[in-house]
Amino acid sequence: MDKLRITGGQRLHGEITVSGAKNAALPILCATLLTADTVTLHNAPELRDIDTTLKLLSQLGVHVERNAESVTIRANELNSLEAPYELVKTMRASILVLGPLLARFGEARVSLPGGCAIGQRPVDQHIKGLEAMGADIHIEHGFVVAKAKRLKGAVIRTDMVTVTGTENLLMAATLAEGETILENAAREPEIVDLAELLIAMGAKISGHGTDRITIQGVERLHGAEHTIMPDRIEAGTFLCAVAATGGDLMLRRACPDTLGATLDKLREAGLHIETGPDWVRGTMYGRPKATGFRTSEYPSFPTDMQAQLMALNTIADGTAMVVETIFENRFMHVQELIRLGAQIEIDGNAAVVTGVSQLLGARVMATDLRASASLVIAGLAAKGDTIIERIYHLDRGYDRMESKLQAVGAQIERLTKEEE
């Protein structure tokens, strides 16, 4: 099992090109099931979760061709409507094939999902919405089994804001009969990106990016070509890294318009930030300032950046309170940061972080995707060597992170079991 070894204390200088967004690419790949025509996607990141999704599509009978950052998909001859446990267990986003399969083929059998152990993420809102559109759904031997002759438009109000729920229902509604209105919809930029692809495929959608999305169902969708948006979480992670180490980092192919709350907090921490239409530059001169924050749905501070900004706070001047409102288990990185010398106390869904002047390298273990990134940031700032185990979590959501960091001056390398 691969590990990362980081020798901390190096300032970061140079340019990094931000990869396509994992959280946009996954639903977009599933959306290709809505048409028998060819869909070509550009800026697809090279990630374990992307590989898993492509493997799942291939197992359904979809023709998949990948060439570097471009993927060509044609779902014209499916031989299965079942997403098996062996693939779904490693990635919760696999549930996103449910809506497209049901909408286009009238049935689907999808294993209940797995993924990171950061908290309960039930699929009941997906099921509630599809049932409101006329689907017959039940749980059978660990599978969601759904059938519908043709979905019918409905007004759907989810009990909570759910990103994947919004995505699943949005995709399903494109081929439903009549009008569907999604109330209390998630507003994330990744949902906007998905909607833009669907519109290019012939869907009639308005209101995406707000909490009320309206979809007029059509008989069929056609092929399209689409470029996946830049990954705002990857961009935010690298900005936290330069804020922790000092230096000057230019992020190319970034989208500052999607980074509002993250940039606000990093400016509070002392990072000097400049932006352009497709770039962000972060420059750090001194020690960061402690910055408290509370996670919430977009456009508030994203839960996917909580661990990274907490890592920055561990070496900041002062004390900050971090409140996590989205996932109840998303403080698992805290104990690992403490192994590096961080001073953090947890009280329920709040963590009080008192910055120390210096972290010290140690052996730590990644527990989930964003926790992995926080340990990389802390390791870059720490004195001495840090070994991060279980980095397969990191590979799920970051495209060649160590290579990108090496190119801007970090001393970081991937170790196989034989090399350590």
Closest CA to 412 of 374, 373, 383, 386: 386
For the purposes of burial, counting CB atoms within 10 Å of the CB of 352, is it exposed (0-12), middle (13-18) or buried (19 or more)? Answer: middle
Angle (CA) 51 327 137, round 5° = 65
Closest CA to 211 of 184, 190, 191, 171: 184
Q: Are strands 224-227 and 38-42 parallel, antiparallel or unpaired?
A: parallel
116 is catalytic: yes
DSSP letter, residue 419: T
Cα(22)–Cα(175) distance, integer angstroms: 25
Cα(174)–Cα(145) distance, integer angstroms: 20
Q: Is 329 helix (H, G, I), strand (E, B) or coil?
A: coil
DSSP letter, residue 113: P
ω into residue 288 within 30 of 0, thus cis?
no
Contact 14, 408 (CB under 8 A): yes
Neighbours of 199 (CB within 10 A): 17
For the purposes of burial, counting CB atoms within 10 Å of the CB of 95, is it exposed (0-12), middle (13-18) or buried (19 or more)? Answer: buried
Cα(211)–Cα(130) distance, integer angstroms: 18
Cα(332)–Cα(404) distance, integer angstroms: 26
CA distances from 86 to 26, 93, 244, 357, 409 (A): 18, 14, 39, 45, 39
| Lookup: tokens for 60 | 């359904």
Cα(156)–Cα(135) distance, integer angstroms: 13
Residues taking part in catalysis? 116
